[in-house]
């Protein structure tokens, strides 16, 4: 007669706990190593994301999306003449320069 060990799902938690019992005294060390690894991973990800350079396609698409404001030269001359001729407009320009909002 050969003795065969039968595998039972109900006995699985007890079997796992029995196998892990000798490692229980190292649980604090394993936890500290786990935290150090997690902390190191987070720092590495922060470093990599901080030093990431945008691709040339992303830069060119952003440059194309930025619209350069063009002011007609005649409007600039008219505003400058209004500023020079009127005291109230002059104070309005000075106020707008000191506080644009």
pLDDT digits (tens, 9 = 90+) for 19-40: 888 888 888 999 999 999 999 9
- What pLDDT digit, counting tens, does each position of 49-83 carry? 999 888 888 888 888 877 778 888 998 888 888 77
Q: Does pTM surpass 0.75?
A: no
| pLDDT confidence of residue 40 | 98
The residue among 62, 89, 69, 88 whose CA lies nearest residue 78 is 89
- Collapsing DSSP states into helix, strand and coil, what is residue 27? helix
Query: What's residue 90's pLDDT?
Result: 66
The pLDDT value recorded for residue 89 is 65
Residue 88 structure tokens: 């109230």
């Amino acid at each position: 007669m050969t003795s065969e060990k039968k595998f039972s799902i109900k006995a699985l938690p007890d079997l796992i706990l029995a196998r892990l019992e000798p490692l229980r005294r190292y649980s604090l060390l394993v936890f500290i190593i786990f935290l150090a690894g997690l902390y190191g991973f987070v720092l590495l990800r922060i470093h990599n994301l901080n030093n990431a350079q945008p691709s040339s396609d992303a830069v060119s698409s952003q440059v194309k999306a930025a619209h350069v404001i063009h002011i007609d030269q005649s409007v600039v001359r008219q505003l400058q003449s209004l500023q020079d001729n009127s005291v109230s407009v002059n104070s309005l320009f000075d106020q707008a320069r000191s506080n644009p909002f």
